[in-house]
Structure 1
Amino acid sequence: MRRAGRVLLLLLLPLLLLSFTGYEASAAASSTGRIILDNRELTMPKGIALENVNGSVMIPVRVVVENLGFQVLWEQKTRKVTVQQDGKSIELAVGRKTANADGVTLDLNAAPKQSGSTVLVPIRFVSEQFGLKVGWDNMDKTVYLTGGLSSGTDTAAIPTATPTATYSPAPTPTATPLTGTVEGNVTGSATPTPLPLISPTPEGSGGIVVGPQVKGAVFSENRLIVAVTGAVKPTVTTMSSPDRIIVDFPGAAFAPEFAGSLPVIVANGSPQGKLDVTGYPLVSELRYALFSVSPPTVRFVIQTVGSQPYQLSTDESTGLVTIDLNVLSNVGGSPAVPVGSGKPIVVLDAGHGGSQPGAISVTGKKEKDFNLAVIRKVGALLMQNSLVEVIYTRTDDITLGLQDRVNIAKAVKANLFISVHANAMDSSSTNWNYVNGSETYYSRSESLPLAQIMHKHLVAGTGFKDNGVRNKSLHVTRETSMPAILLEAGYLTNLGDEAALYTEKLQDNLAREIAAGIMEYLGL
């Protein structure tokens, strides 16, 4: 039965393939363009055309969100648009490159603009805030939006629109085929030799393709499944900084149908791009490319949040190769997060990131940068003594939801969850720029002992005023199942705190104290 299921999966693979990284293309001035929402064309306002602003395709926000059932409010005097649904509120203003989502400031890659009575916003904003996948067909200037169907809609009965390129929040694809580099990433300015889509054919073969071919790939149920023809033995290696699982298919190249049936980028004659890993918080990115030409090698890179165990399996009858991440330890290798090693697992969370900068300091610095710098230093210190296993929620400037952070901690069965932040006061508050100091937050009573120990070390690390340990219902400290605390190091709206927080000296001191607090709590 299992083998029959895999055969069926192979047959259905082209239909199961998820969106790949693409790009935003320029809208032609001679065409108004179209917007397709879940296979239904939306009516564009009269006289309004899709526009390109600094490389970003701009679409009418009212047209999209009203078709999703959202309420749209327009304030003519301030030229501000407010979008509301189910208690969520998003505000953006014409000419301003930031938006506000439930009190969180978000960066926009292009400022909204007004055309008549219509406000145009970048499709990046639409995709990130309204849970839509966005595609752009440069041939007929069409924006494809998918994912706006209500929960009661039978999505299986609706055909999927296939744009020529699929948009991803990442600005450019990172998996670019180039012979001789570690992962196939572009280094320097050299132009690689055009790469073949299929394996080379020897003389006298009559043009018949020999050698393995990669026909398709999909990431589903926390598994990478690759369809391959021909005899090929995949090799798997792991690397760190960042953590990633590298899957190579030596001697294999992409089959013609791999590029022909999918909305992927074709660069230098070969497909490259990323598989959609939305909904899998332990996987931050999954990219693919033709790693080398002679001999040809197809490479998939699974970038993970922390060291991730996997199991490799090959079904010769179907040609399916599976990298399964739903395991406790690597088959044939050492555990990624050792099970039964006796080492506590500590999750380090750098607050905010990506499109969510967090608080903005009095001199324009972003909280997310401080948070990540400190967390990286803490992790490096903890890994030096090898007494604990360190898992990061993020090691780069990526957007990560609150529940994603909780899911990561639960998935690795963490013993502790430590989140680092910097605070801020609203400028409308009395003496807002005089408020300063460090405080520690917890939500559940079992987290109080951890909070007390960590707060002692927090104050020692910053040297700021002691604002005490505070109980507050915060998502990451409330929804986690292990002792969890959130450290507010200082106030970015206070000139004294801010000046110190962005120095290497304070960050180093704070990292040492946080690491010491973790070790003290764990009794190590």
Structure 2
Amino acid sequence: MRMRKACLRMLALLLPLLVLVAWSGQGAAAAGRGKIVLDNQELALPKGVVLESVNGSVMIPIRVVSENLGYEVSWDKTLRKVTIRQDFKEIQLYVGSKQADADGVPFTLNAAPRQATGTVLVPIRFVGEQFGLGVGWDNRDKIVYLSGLSPDVSPVQPAPSPVASPSPSPSPSPVIGSPVSTPSPIPAPSPTTGTVAGTASSTPQTAGGPAGAAAGPSTQVMGAAFSANQLIIAVSGAVQPIITTLDSPSRIVVELPGASLAADFAGGRLEPGSPASQGTLDVSGYPLISGVGYSMSAAYPSTVRFEIQTTEALPYRLNVDDSTGLITVDLNASDTGGGGKPVVVLDAGHGGSQPGAISAAERKEKDFNLAVIQKAGALLQKDERVTVVFTRTEDITLTLQDRVHIAEEAGANLFISLHANAMPKTAANWNMVNGSETYYTRSGSLPLAKVMHAHLVKGTGFKDNGVRAKSLHVTRETTMPAVLLEAGYLTNTTEESSLFTGDLQDALAREIAAGIIEYLGI
């Protein structure tokens, strides 16, 4: 619970930074009514509607967005209920009530939907989170910025780069792999791991390029924050961080070559008498962190430097997400339950009295899930670089919370759930829908989702349906990076026949294991 609160605080702090990254230089909203900008295009507001923030939730007319994104919106006048659908996702909101429903999961909203001038206003943050819609809010000029792009597709980027992330800030994720005393270069996009060494390390570690590789001339550091035991830096433009560990005192130094502090850099605080080019971040509540400072060199091209001072040796994880403009140095190190090896929980969906989807040939989803998960687990156990924990190894019934509990009790570093999909027969072309897709809920799971999805598609050979944000119990309630893989559709006879072959199951098991190893960087 404390980690979740820390994540929420971090989200609240970083959202303004991301808005600055994506939309600096925008003009004021006309006539004080506000604006909605979707993928750089301004949408027309209904007459008389004024955008406003209620209890931290920005309320917008849902039909304006739905008409441009292809959402299906229906209105039940009797129940005063708004239903929003897209593909296989459905959410329900009630005018005047803070209670909402997303695919059968209840939610409590910060602000209740309301009617105004013939339209219904809904909290766009909730809608955005459910449909993978990037959301930003400029409170000064009353502008809502939306990105309807798929979270694994980067938009064509003007300068400064727009944010195309379904959620603006990453959730905490455990440090992955065993710490090493001297960092070594790791090619992007694999995340970087290391530790504050007992002796000074002069070997810098870069993400995606050689040490000293310069950033683009327009790269600016828009803001920074230290929260949930992570240093989060928001930048506009491309940059290749250089990370170095030093001793006496122990420090992790992150340098951004060719970057400069933005004129309206947010998040830091100046010490009395200090120039505007240097300052510190708030690290209260983190006893192992004695300070985080930042500075900008006067040379040209300039370099922005962040220095994390620690009280003892701490592993770290460096992640650079070009799609969001976020650089994360994650210090959430913890002892694993696997004798120092990362712990991976493999979850075969359904089981026992819950068969899952039933194919036209009366094959059961639960059998497919278990067969592949056991094969993937066997490969990982033979590899011996990770500790594997199964939620089930036989045909037993587990609740969703049972699966979450197993992962939490194991101190898991990763949670991978496997399923096969199905379409209701009431849906149009129900037996024609096909392809593989990967779901995640918390933004900290997005890097894992991207890696695993590439291997999922390679393993099945099916159509690539992309990475999707969705509120699923096992990916929402777990605290480690967690994804749910939908291998294919049992209601599609071609895919169903392939899913139950040994060749596809073997291939998919190999790719699941390979994706886990790739993400862990071991």
* Bigger Cα Rg: 1
Could you say which TM-score interval applies, normalised by the shorter chain? Answer: 0.3 to 0.5
Greater relative contact order, per chain length (Cα 8 Å cut-off, separation 6+): 2
TM-score with structure 1 setting the length: 0.39
Q: TM-score, normalised by structure 2?
A: 0.39
